[in-house]
Amino acid sequence: MAYSTVVIAATIFVVVAATIWGRSEATRAFLVFGDSLVDNGNNNYLVTSARADSPPYGIDYPTHSATGRFSNGYNIPDLISQAIGSEATLAYLNPQLKGERLLVGANFASAGIGILGDTGFQFANIIRMGQQLEMFQAYKERVGSLIGGEE
């Protein structure tokens, strides 16, 4: 369990570092992969017991209501978004993630997962790491359709 968390945290750091330092200001998108440490609401759109859409979650969030984040307020991606002066990423499954909002980035994280496919077997319908990567491929296609793909 601890090893899985360390690997996920390291993966998140690499993605964040590449996002922040690897692109120009005009083309930056913030992409988040991981588990409950960084999930900002994908599980709200799933039929699963791994949910954070009721109190006490969100009591310190600006709206004072549960958002799907497994915290009482902001989570790590929220703080990073604030630090880089960007809007917070929306959960990939959020229906509002369309149009120009796609260019901000997306959060693919899902509570209950781990790096290994069988981690979190006690939770049904969570977005495992392989599925997060498949969703990222679909995200790239959506962004390509919006701004024009490479020729």
pLDDT tens digits along 97-143: 999 999 999 999 999 887 777 776 777 789 999 999 999 999 999 99
Residue 115 — φ and ψ, nearest 5°?
A: -65, -40
Note every long-range contact of 133-136, with CB atoms under 8 Å and residues 24 or more positions apart, other chains counting: 133/33, 135/92, 135/108, 136/31, 136/33, 136/106, 136/108
**Can you give the residue range of the structural domain that contains 104?**
2-147
Asked if residue 14 has pLDDT above 80, the reply is no
Q: Give the residue with greater pLDDT, 32 vs 8.
A: 32
Half-sphere exposure for 63 (CA within 13 Å, toward CB): 10
Residue with the bigger pLDDT between 17 and 30: it is 30
- Beta-carbon count within 10 A of 17 CB: 10
pLDDT of residue 123: 77
pLDDT confidence of residue 10: 61
Return the DSSP state at 26.
G
pLDDT tier at 67, thresholds 50, 70, 90: very high
Q: Residue 49: its pLDDT value, please?
A: 87
pLDDT category of residue 88 using cuts at 50, 70 and 90: very high
Query: Angle at the Cα of 31 (from 26 to 32), degrees rounded to 5?
Result: 155
Q: What is the pTM of this model?
A: 0.79
At 142, list the tokens: 């959506």
Q: Are 101 and 90 in contact (CB under 8 A)?
A: yes
pLDDT higher at 2 or 64: 64
Total number of domains in the chain: 1
State residue 2's pLDDT score: 66
Give the pLDDT score at 20.
54
What share of the chain in percent tops pLDDT 70? 78
